[in-house]
A = this chain, B = another copy of it.
């Protein structure tokens, strides 16, 4: 079991490990291979306002990219899972902050040419943009049930399963991702369960029983 660490600790306590396996995607051959750091849960990878620089790749675990309002409300823009890349910014400062959700391995990608990773980076940035645009529709125009169904279907796709979802984040994170409260997340899951669409074997597992019905909620 993971040792739950204090919430807002910084990356200083990450444990850098000299793991350098050769299985890095071809896209990223341009970057200098770097060690993987292992972070415990709820550790800050970079903070809002911090100087932006390197890119990061998730080796295992889950990362959340967040923003806060002045009075502390939080919006999670995206979750990143194994194999995904994050950390690019328009300006020279991070306007979002990145944290680990659970125990997570992160590889730093330092471009070895001054102008960055070039074409590969553009393609990744455009994918991020597409994902953000998808999410705008969800946040702006969907009901709680539609948001939740969209989220579950997205997880199914990204975890490459049509039945068993491992939920690495907790209700609070899901709520802040979908623009809801954690109570509403809980209630909607119950509705889906009562409708026979899902099962909840444990708190962190969701078994999808009727993917078609979930799909029909989103339409």
Residues 36-85 of A at the B interface (beta carbon under 8 Å):
67, 69-71, 73-75, 77
A96 contacts B by Cβ under 8 Å = yes
In the assembly, how many copies of this chain are there? 2
Task: Given A70-B219, A133-B95, A179-B139, answer yes or no on A115-B126 (Cβ-Cβ < 8 Å).
Answer: no
Contact with B along A154-179 (1 / 0, CB 8 A): 00000000000000000000001011
Please choose the segment from A3-11, A117-125, A196-204 that sits at the chain B interface, where 4 or more of its residues have CB less than 8 A away.
A117-125
Whether B90 pairs with A129 at a CB distance below 8 angstroms is yes
Query: A218 — which chain B residues lie within 8 A by C-beta?
Result: 70
- Residue A127 CB within 8 A of the other chain: yes
Interface contact B179-A141, CB-CB below 8 Å: yes
Query: Which parts of A140-161 form the interface with B (CB within 8 Å)?
Result: 140-142
Q: Is A88 an interface residue (CB 8 A)?
A: yes
Find out whether the CB atom of A130 lies under 8 angstroms from the CB atom of B91: yes
Contact assessment for A89 and B136 in the assembled complex, using a CB-CB cutoff below 8 Å = no
Choose among A133, A135, A141, A176 the residue with the greatest number of B CB atoms under 10 Å from its CB: A133
> In the bound complex, do residue B125 and residue A129 qualify as a contact, i.e. CB atoms below 8 Å apart?
yes
Docked pose: A73 CA to B147 CA in angstroms = 14
Given A90-B123, A125-B125, A179-B141, check contact A130 B95 (CB 8 Å).
Answer: yes
Chain B, residue nearest A73 (CB): B141
Determine if B69 and A141 form an interchain contact, defined as CB atoms under 8 angstroms apart. yes
Binding site for B on A (CB under 8 A): 67, 69-71, 73-75, 77, 88-91, 95-96, 115-116, 118-119, 121-123, 125-130, 132-137, 139-142, 176, 178-179, 218-219
